[in-house]
Amino acid sequence: MRGEHIFEYQKLNSKDQKTYRRWLWVNAVVMAILLTGLIAIAIKVPGDQSGATAQQATMRTQTKLPPERASVLPGRVDPR
């Protein structure tokens, strides 16, 4: 398979070879940018919310719910 691509590339005239190299270069740059963004998202997401912020969000959600629904487990009433 690889040999076929090299053979086809060698059969192209110099203008088409230049266009093909440019196309490969642009694709490599675009993929590098996308990969960098993906890595940045993967690194950023876990550190986005501290434990205290998550706990406060849970507390706000639970205070808005009626007592029978505020429990984390279904069917359990909050012992407040």
Q: Tens digits of per-residue pLDDT, 44-68? A: 765 555 555 666 666 655 556 566 6
Amino acid (one-letter) located at 32: A
As a whole number of angstroms, the distance between CA 20 and CA 26 comes to: 10
Q: What percent of the chain has pLDDT over 90?
A: 39
CB 78 within 8 A of CB 67: yes
Q: Give the pLDDT score at 19.
A: 96
